[in-house]
Amino acid sequence: MTKRIVRREDYREEYNIAASTYHIWLKKMNKHTNTILKIDHLKNQENIHILDFACGTGYISGFVLSALKDPTVKITAVDISDKMIEIAKGNISDSRCLFIVRDGTDFLFGEEDEKYDAIFCGYALPYFNHKKVIKEFHRILKKNGTAHFITNCKGTLKGIDEIYIDTMKEYSSSLNKIMEIGYQLPKNQNDLKSWFERRQFSTVFLDTVEEIISYSSPEELYNWLKNTGAIAGTDHIFSDEKEIIESIINKIENRCNCEDKYCTNHKFIQGIFKKK
């Protein structure tokens, strides 16, 4: 069996592909992202500096810039996907926002201490070693700075991870790379809370939410998962992609049917934390 693992360049490649259809994700999920965009504490302040970590196509940056009119506000928006950044630049024509194409961990290691007043991160935390990045978030935040996160947790994409695990067993001879389907997901909101509190953050807000994703055919559900990046990395698991896709769609049809629809879920945690 192969020992090669799906790595950050593989995720970059797949998010480059998903960039042009990522608006499909935002259409369904941005209402949940809005919950962590509580920025009243940043209003009426000057020289605010914000980090949009793994910014995607720039939804969070655009929201914050619209809410904070002060010309001295700065946003640094970083993402590993050059195509995501390209779209973000097209969406945001504001000189207060600096876009950077770079791996998030590498970027954090190069930032100076106590630089940012707030950090935002939408759905990207499980792609990173949380111990490393949360330590860096604490280092680069100013005292009383806030970290705003929305992240998937255990129990998300119900049925889909099992489908991929079973398909990996079924097509073991076609395995190209191994992917840990669960990434580094927090088990629950208390788990996420403990990650931050170990690094000297206090909890300001915490909640768990679930969104049901349903379509009238298994093909539509699969396409949503692919086009939104929800299963980014899976294209690199197998060498014979066409046959594998047919098998996965068949499994979705058999396992993910709910009444007259085909369903899975997105279960995620919304959290805001303050540096002590």
pLDDT of residue 133: 98
**DSSP calls for 203-215:** EEEEEEEEEEEEE
pLDDT of residue 1: 52
The residue among 97, 138, 133 whose CA lies nearest residue 114 is 138
State if pTM tops 0.75: yes
**DSSP calls for 39-66:** -GGGTT-SS-EEEEET-TTSHHHHHHHH
The alpha-helical segments, DSSP class H, found in the chain are 8-18, 23-33, 59-67, 82-91, 104-109, 130-140, 160-170, 189-197, 218-227, 241-255
Q: Longest Cα pair distance anywhere in the chain, in angstroms?
A: 60
The pLDDT averaged over each successive group of 10 residues in the chain (276 residues) is: 81 97 95 96 95 98 96 98 98 98 98 99 96 98 98 96 94 89 85 98 98 98 97 91 92 95 97 98
Which domains, from first to last, does the chain contain? 8-156+182-212+268-275 (3.40.50.150)
For residue 116, the surrounding DSSP H or E stretch is strand 116-122
Residues in CB range of 42: below 8 A, 6 or more apart:
48, 50, 68, 117, 118
